[in-house]
Amino acid sequence: MCHILSLPPDFGSAKLHTKRGQATTLGGGTEGWQSPEAILGEGATPASDVFSCGLVFFFVLTGGKHPFGDDEAKRARLMVRFASADPDDAEEVAEADAKVQKRVGAGLAGHDPEATELVAGMLRHAPSERPSAAEVLRSALLREALDAHTCPLSFEVMRDPVITADGQTYEREEIERWFATGKRSSPLTGKDLESTALLPNIALRNAIAEM
């Protein structure tokens, strides 16, 4: 099962090699998911990972779409053209950014404006203009996703979510440990519970399994 917190460590730097030993990408990273600087072979930084993560966010939020297009050949050309914008030409960079932001806005129409703004920012051409990894982690987009799937006791994505008598959901092992200490109150509200019975949260468990 893949959790939203599971981040492949080589995502921003791995290359797929052919049988002849030739890399299939111009720079480091998985083709179609590289940052502009990775495409140009300029080396990866945390900002490069933020860009790649922005592509993944767009993919997830749109149900499988890519901001640079779904046709692989056309997408590759668009990404190279975007990467090739002259960083010393502010007008050229602004034009390149505007095109991407327009595609992001169209693709995420109907989503929370804050999510659209975050993804558009993550896909800026200049690494210095992208939000930091810490800012992304603090964003409402991730916070809401994590709040829905994370146990409030362990702060980890749940594997076996269960519902207590007051309707709150926890990881089974964590809430059973809470009750094992003799507590009969809610960890979140502090109020006494009518019982310590637990019900499986099947809907949430299935949702987590599909992440």
**Each residue of 2-19: pLDDT tens digit?**
334 434 444 444 444 444
State whether the Cα torsion 87-90-96-97 is positive or negative: positive
Q: Is the pLDDT of residue 85 over 60?
A: yes
User: Distance (Å, rounded) from C-alpha 184 to C-alpha 180?
Assistant: 9
How would you class 17 by CB atoms within 10 Å of its CB: exposed for 0-12, middle for 13-18, buried for 19 or more? exposed
DSSP, res 131: P
The whole-model pTM stands at 0.62
8 Å CB contact between 94 and 143 = no
Q: Do residues 70 and 32 lie in contact, with contact meaning Cβ atoms separated by under 8 Å?
A: no
On whether the CB atoms of residues 82 and 32 are closer than 8 A, the answer is no
Percent of the chain with pLDDT over 90: 58
Residue 171 pLDDT more than 80?
Answer: yes
- pLDDT in the model for residue 52: 94
